[in-house]
Amino acid sequence: MTPASDAPAPDGRSWRFSRRRAAEGFRAALAPIAACSVALGGLTTWVSTGNAGSPARIEVGDGRVLLPYGDVRDTAAFFRITNSGGAEDRLLKVTSPAVAGGTVLSRHRMINKTAAASGAVDSAPIPARTVVAMSPFGLDVTMRAGRGWEEGTYVPFTLYFERSGRIEVQARVVRPGTGA
């Protein structure tokens, strides 16, 4: 049996080492090696800046509920949600034991300069390293106010996140337009 290096090539000639073949082999290997080097450099930078595997870190604060006027019981709650982590999270729902009819996560948007629309949403993204400030002009939690709510009292809420689990917070009842 002949060694593999002495085996005849398909055209009947024996394979022989040459500078030309070595150069062709080197050029063929250069692209995958360069791609791996660039990927390794990018991953090294990502890890060294502390972003690799950094989970979402959610904090919820500045909770407030608007005090409804007169016989109207419909109102809304707003929170400031901070994600200081390196991964996106998602707000799935908001509940409160003080709200009998339940709560709805909703989003308001302007249709044109004089009209707006509101609708329930299944969830809301909380991007990495951002603050989502709920407001009457964007994301909020709509509900029917409980009996006996007064300005300055607190209402308990639980916010449920896809990755961060549940977070319990208090929202202060405020009069609309007070800036509180």
**Using CA atoms, how far apart are residues 143 and 103, in angstroms rounded to an integer?**
5
pLDDT in tens, 28-65: 878 888 888 888 887 777 666 655 667 899 999 999 99
Q: Which of 63, 51, 54, 61 is nearest to 82 (CA)?
A: 61
DSSP 8-class letter at 126: E
Are 143 and 96 within 8 A, CB to CB? yes
pLDDT in tens, 129-166: 999 999 988 999 999 988 788 999 999 999 999 999 99
**Which value, to the nearest 10 degrees, does the dihedral of the CA atoms of residues 151, 153, 159, 165 take?**
160
- Higher-pLDDT residue of 14, 128: 128
- Higher-pLDDT residue of 82, 44: 82
- Higher-pLDDT residue of 180, 178: 178
